Amino acid sequence: MLLAVDVGNTDTVFGLYESDDCVSVLRIRTLSTESPSNYESQIRLHFMETGLWMGDVSTVVLGSVVPDMTPILQKVLLSLFGEGTILVGPTIFPELNIAIDHPHEIGADLIANSVAAMNRYNRNCVIVDFGTALTFTTVSAQREILGVAILPGLKTAVKALFTNTAQLPEVPLELPQSAIGKNTVHAIQSGILLGYEGLVKSLLSRIKEELQGDCIAIATGGLSSIIETLQDEFVEIDPRLTLDGLRLIGERVSKA
């Protein structure tokens, strides 16, 4: 089995694969102040509850966008599964060319997303990842990451309003029926969710225009299905795209 670990700013997700089938997923809050032993105990408990055996894990691949968490998770994975954790970086997958100014700046999640997308479609595509940040990663049919657009994610935007304003509450991410909010909650939902709807459509349109219209869009991330009116913009919505990309990287590196 292969264990793919996606360390994000909000959550760390563990995906366990048998071949290309994801048989189990564990999500843990990302906290660099957490003791490694606590992460270790949660992973052990998950294996026990799912009836899986840790000794069956032959490959572990780690993608992290939280530098403080990387050594913590490496220590945990070493303790549980032994040597050989594959750490994702810009040179990890030779078939993917990162054609940006500073390749070392790109996140492991965006690399994994790109690998998964080009493996499935092998054509110009943009991957929209609805996470703590909202990212648009454009990959060419020639298997190049052409560039990225980044902005605050949906929850991040709501949290910014709640944290930095005296009278605005934190609200649930539910699509309102009207753009004209009749109360504070609906007003924020309209501004954030309908505003982001227009933002996503506009940015996708600009990217496709720059690629002469020859481009598809894929959505991923935990909030990828929140704005239902965006579904027609995507050929696929797969919240586990990042994990699948990590799996493909792990398989490629372990066979090299």
Helices (H) and strands (E) in the chain, counts: 7, 11
Active site residue 238: no
List C-alpha distances in Å: 239 to 154, 201, 218. 15, 19, 10
Please give the model's pTM, rounded to 2 decimal places.
0.93
Q: What is the pLDDT of residue 158?
A: 86
pLDDT in tens, 6-51: 999 999 999 999 999 999 999 999 988 888 899 999 999 999 999 9
pLDDT > 90 fraction of the chain, expressed in percent and rounded? 78
Structural domains in the chain, CATH included, are 2-87 (3.30.420.40), 97-244 (3.30.420.40)
What is the distance between the alpha carbons of residues 153 and 129, in angstroms, rounded to a whole number? 9
Q: What is the pLDDT of residue 167?
A: 66
Q: Which candidate in 6, 109, 238, 244 is catalytic?
A: 109
Using CA of residue 64, residue 67, residue 69, residue 70, what is the dihedral sign?
positive
| pLDDT of 109 higher than 70 | yes
Average pLDDT over residues 140-166: 89
Average pLDDT over residues 118-145: 96
**Which band of pLDDT confidence, cut at 50, 70 and 90, is reported for residue 166?**
low
Q: What is the pLDDT of residue 169?
A: 67
Beta strand ranges found along 84-231 (DSSP E): 86-87, 97-98, 125-130, 133-139, 144-152, 216-220
Provide φ and ψ at 174, rounded to 5°: -125, 130
- Give the number of other CB atoms < 10 A from CB of residue 95: 10
Which of the 8 DSSP states describes residue 194?
Answer: I
Q: What is the pLDDT of residue 223?
A: 86
Strands 236-237, 125-130: pairing kind:
unpaired
Distance of CA 245 to the CA centre of its chain: 10
**Which band of pLDDT confidence, cut at 50, 70 and 90, is reported for residue 239?**
very high
148 neighbors 138 (Cβ within 8 angstroms): yes
Average pLDDT over the chain reads 93
pLDDT in tens, 81-98: 998 899 999 999 999 999
